[in-house]
């Protein structure tokens, strides 16, 4: 998907009468957004915004050993073969010219998909090399500039990491962190961002007066012929865009809240900094007992960390495990400013959200199930989504109310839109998938925020996961039967049946999430349920939801189950 951006000048720290100005250049192709106010505590803001920068550049994907010498040898080989390649090119060109006017080949779409896959593979390799050797040029390959939203009570900054597994959002209260602003225009825009700007952040000091400004000058002058005016076309990867929207939608779902002390998080980060696991498992296990301090256990060392000073007051349940814990090291810079940390859990192996409270500022770090998990392309998180889609008119009505109110809790939005809470929750989830809404976890309210200038459709987000599509087709063809359903010895429900003639067994919990399963298909043989269950397991679960007792797939039952799991 191509996105057009336009900037007048560059973001930088500039000298001005009476101090310095941290001036951001907004995207002129979007709605007019402006804000200009003095920073009350530049150093605290510096540390928080620098932590957000660490999220942007975070990339913990596996990095193979250096093969630069081998690559240099291959370059020499390519130079020797250049004449052969040129001759082959001319031969193919002549063949294509001869095919002008002939019908389109039947496998053109498949060949296009293969070529697109080769392109993004080569682009990722180039991205990794530039990140290590030419950071300024690498910056130009970053998918999308950070997003800033000016609301009536806060200003918040959003970004997505380079490895598409981490999300960062810095929320700053306007009254507590900024002075009065005479040029305020609410809305959302992208801002020009560079490594030079990050280095300028480090020069912020308390003894120098600093103003924060989203400069609206480019909106009011003829910029097209100005030398500082520039337009950029950004080709957003499908995985990046879909992952960003899926993560936003996951924030709207009911979660289990765990409050941790700063000391517990410090101990967690210090231990991870000193140790690196060589064997599996490599999870953080949350052991939660109502009325007692939360306990974090680091695997495989079985190292316990108790959060003394906080009490878990949610529902009891089995221990929850999350992976990809080294991504939490980006929180180290803001711990000296922290008052406490709230963790919001969706379940074992599912995304988690870590909110660091820093007085009038909050840094939200959203993590996928694990660093290399493909939930961004539609796997495990899809199981938590509403089982039925809300009506388009209900979604449009909610969008109108939220756009007018700018921010409101779920109960107020449901009342204003004359919708039941479950339908309103499903509708807001759909708005989040379209990039038009965001859920503020700690404030427990939804905000109007358009991550792109237009609402996203299924075309921009890409197709759903093939196994989910296959499960729906099995249901439509009525090729699934549930032969038995009985309670498991440790809770949950054991389903046994057949799907497309294959014997299938699944263990689902009270949230209808598949925890374990057995199937004979190739997808299950290769992945198990690590990348989401196969189509046969999903079809068995969905078929029982349609006909089983008390586990219907209505939006109301989904809403009640998830609220009960979260203890709300």
Out of 84-88, 316-320, 552-556, least confident range? 552-556
Cβ atoms of 490 and 483 within 8 Å: the answer is no
Is there a contact between 158 and 167 (Cβ–Cβ < 8 Å)? yes
Q: What token pair was written down for 504?
A: 């299938």
* 47 closest CA partner among 161, 204, 164: 204
Phi/psi at 391 (5° precision): -65, 145
More confident residue, 431 or 1: 431
Residue for token pair 């305020």:
184
Q: Which of 492, 489, 491, 495 has its CA nearest to residue 546?
A: 495
Mean pLDDT of the chain: 81
Is pLDDT above 80 for 522? yes
pLDDT at 543: 87
| Residues 201-235: tens digit of each pLDDT | 788 888 888 888 887 665 554 445 555 555 655 55
CA-based end-to-end distance of the chain: 39
The pLDDT of residue 61? 62
28 or 261, which is more confident? Answer: 261
**Does the structure show a pLDDT above 80 at 322?**
yes
Mean pLDDT of 504-512: 77
Out of 453-457, 520-524, 563-567, give the one with best mean pLDDT.
520-524
Least confident of 24-28, 242-246, 253-257: 242-246
pLDDT at 432 over 50: yes
HEC string of 76-129 equals HHHHHCHHHHHHHHHHHHHHHHHCCCCCCCCCHHHHHHHHHHHHHHHHHHHHHH
pLDDT band at 560 (very low <50, low <70, confident <90, very high): low
Cα-Cα-Cα-Cα torsion 508, 509, 515, 519, nearest 10 degrees, comes to -10
pLDDT beyond 50 at 551: no
Is-contact 85 77, C-beta < 8 A?
A: no
Q: Confidence class of residue 504 from pLDDT cuts 50, 70 and 90?
A: very high
- Helix boundaries (H) for 361-511: 392-405, 410-416, 421-433, 458-461, 466-476
Token representation of residue 413:
């939005």
Please give the backbone phi and psi of residue 451, each rounded to the nearest 5 degrees, phi first: -70, -25
Give the global pTM. Answer: 0.73
pLDDT at 497 over 90: yes
Contact between 427 and 390 under an 8 Å Cβ cutoff? The reply is yes
Question: In the structure encoding, which two tokens stand for residue 21, read together?
Answer: 């100005």
Domains of the chain are 2-60+142-154+174-235 (no CATH), 245-375 (3.10.150.10), 392-461 (1.10.10.10), 466-566 (no CATH)
Q: Is the pLDDT of residue 152 over 50?
A: yes
* Residues whose CB falls within 8 Å of the CB of residue 200, separated by 6 or more in sequence, listed in order: 12, 13, 22
- Range list of β-strands (E), 457-512: 480-487, 493-499, 502-508
- pLDDT (mean) for 23-27: 81
Locate 457 and state its tokens. Answer: 């459709």
pLDDT at 221: 46
Q: Which tokens belong to 310?
A: 């906080």
Under 8 Å CB-to-CB from 492, ≥6 apart: which residues? 507, 508, 509, 510, 515
269 by DSSP, 3-state: which?
A: helix
pLDDT value at residue 303: 95
Report the pLDDT value the prediction gives residue 549, as an integer from 0 to 100.
46
Residue 563 clears pLDDT 70, i.e. is over it: no
Of 171, 139, 182, give the one whose Cα is nearest residue 11.
139
| Confidence tier at 515 by pLDDT (50, 70, 90) | confident
Distances, alpha carbon 189 to alpha carbons 5, 213, 333, 388, 430, in Å: 10, 13, 26, 32, 21
For the segment 96-131, what is each residue's pLDDT rounded down to a tens digit?
788 777 777 788 888 878 887 887 778 767 767 776
Best-predicted range by mean pLDDT among 57-61, 372-376, 378-382?
57-61
Residue 377 has pLDDT above 70, yes or no: no
Give yes or no for residue 272 having a pLDDT over 80: yes
Looking at the DSSP bridge assignments, the partners of residue 521 are: none
């Amino acid at each position: 998907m191509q996105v057009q951006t336009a900037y007048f000048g560059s973001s930088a720290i500039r000298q001005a009468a009476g101090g310095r100005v941290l001036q951001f250049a907004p995207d002129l192709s979007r709605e007019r957004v402006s804000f200009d106010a003095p920073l009350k505590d530049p150093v605290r803001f510096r540390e928080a915004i620098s932590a957000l920068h660490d999220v942007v550049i975070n990339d913990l994907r596996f990095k193979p050993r250096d093969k630069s010498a081998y690559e240099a040898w291959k370059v020499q080989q390519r130079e020797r073969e250049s004449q052969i390649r040129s001759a082959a090119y001319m031969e193919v060109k002549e063949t294509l010219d001869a095919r002008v006017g002939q019908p389109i080949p039947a496998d053109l779409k498949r060949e296009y998909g293969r070529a697109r896959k080769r392109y993004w593979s080569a682009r990722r390799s180039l991205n990794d090399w530039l990140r290590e050797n030419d950071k300024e040029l690498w910056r130009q390959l970053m998918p999308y500039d950070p997003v800033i939203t000016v609301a009536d009570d806060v200003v918040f900054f959003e970004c997505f990491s380079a490895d598409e597994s981490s999300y960062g959002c810095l929320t700053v209260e306007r009254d507590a962190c900024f002075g009065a602003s005479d040029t305020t225009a609410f809305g959302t825009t992208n801002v020009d961002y560079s490594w030079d700007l990050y280095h300028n952040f480090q020069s912020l000091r308390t003894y120098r007066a600093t103003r924060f400004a989203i400069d609206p000058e480019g909106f009011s002058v003829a910029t097209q012929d100005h030398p500082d005016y520039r337009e950029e076309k950004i080709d957003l990867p499908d995985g990046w865009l879909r992952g960003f929207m899926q993560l936003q939608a996951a924030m709207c779902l009911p979660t289990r809240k765990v409050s941790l002390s700063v000391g517990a998080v410090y101990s967690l980060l210090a231990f991870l900094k000193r140790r690196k696991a060589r064997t599996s498992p490599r999870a953080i296990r949350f052991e939660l007992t109502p009325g007692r301090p939360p306990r974090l256990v680091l695997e495989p060392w079985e190292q316990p960390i108790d959060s003394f000073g906080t009490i878990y007051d949610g529902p009891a349940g089995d221990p929850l495990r999350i992976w990809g814990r080294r991504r939490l090291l980006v929180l180290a810079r803001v711990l000296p400013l922290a008052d406490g940390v709230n963790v919001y859990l969706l379940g074992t192996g599912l995304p988690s959200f870590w909110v660091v409270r820093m007085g009038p500022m909050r840094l939200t770090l959203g993590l996928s199930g694990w660093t290399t998990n493909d939930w961004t392309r539609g796997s495990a998180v899809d199981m938590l989504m509403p089982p039925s889609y809300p009506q388009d008119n209900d979604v449009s009505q909610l969008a109108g109310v939220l756009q007018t109110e700018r921010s409101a809790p779920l109960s107020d939005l449901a009342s204003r839109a004359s919708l039941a809470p479950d339908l309103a929750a499903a509708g807001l989830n759909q708005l989040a998938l379209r990039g038009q809404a965001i859920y503020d976890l700690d404030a427990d309210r939804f905000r109007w925020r358009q991550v792109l200038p237009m609402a996203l459709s299924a075309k921009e987000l890409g197709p759903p996961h093939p196994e989910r599509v296959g499960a729906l087709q099995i249901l439509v063809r009525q090729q699934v039967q549930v032969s038995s359903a009985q309670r498991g010895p440790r809770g949950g429900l054991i389903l046994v049946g057949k799907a497309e003639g294959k014997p299938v067994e699944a263990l689902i919990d009270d949230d209808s999430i598949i925890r374990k399963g057995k199937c004979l298909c190739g997808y299950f043989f290769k992945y198990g349920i690590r990348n989401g269950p196969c189509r046969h397991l999903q079809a068995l679960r969905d078929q029982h939801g349609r006909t089983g007792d008390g586990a219907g797939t209505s939006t109301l039952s989904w809403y009640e189950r998830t609220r009960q799991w979260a203890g709300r």
